[in-house]
Amino acid sequence: MLEARLQQAGTLKKLLDAIKELVTDANFECNEEGITLQAMDNSHVALVAVKLDASSFQKYRCDRPMPLGVNLGALAKVLKCAKDDDICTLTATDDADVLNLKFESRNQDRLAEYDMKLMDIDSDTLGIPDTDYDARITMPSSELARIVRDLIQLGESVRIDVTKEGVRFNSDGEAANGSVLLKQTDASRKYFQKKIEDGRTGVLIEMNQTVNLTFSLKYLVNFAKSSSLTDVVQLMMSNDVPLLVQYHFGQGHIRYYLAPKIGDE
Class of domain 2-117: alpha beta
Question: Residue 264: how many CB atoms within 10 A of its CB?
Answer: 4
pLDDT tens, per residue, the chain with 265 residues: 999 999 999 999 999 998 998 999 999 999 999 999 999 998 889 999 999 999 999 999 999 999 999 999 999 999 999 999 999 999 999 887 999 999 999 988 999 999 999 999 887 666 777 788 999 999 999 999 999 999 999 999 999 999 988 999 999 988 899 999 998 876 656 665 555 444 445 788 999 999 999 999 999 999 999 999 999 999 999 998 999 999 999 899 999 999 998 865 4
> 135-258 adopts what CATH topology?
Proliferating Cell Nuclear Antigen (3.70.10)
* pTM value > 0.75: yes
Question: Which run of H or of E encompasses 38?
Answer: strand 34-40
Q: Do domains 2-117 and 135-258 have the same CATH topology?
A: yes
Domain ranges of the chain: 2-117, 135-258
Query: Which residue, among 114, 120, 107, has the nearest Cα to 91 in the 3D structure?
Result: 114
Rounded Cα–Cα distance for residues 90 and 121 (Å): 19
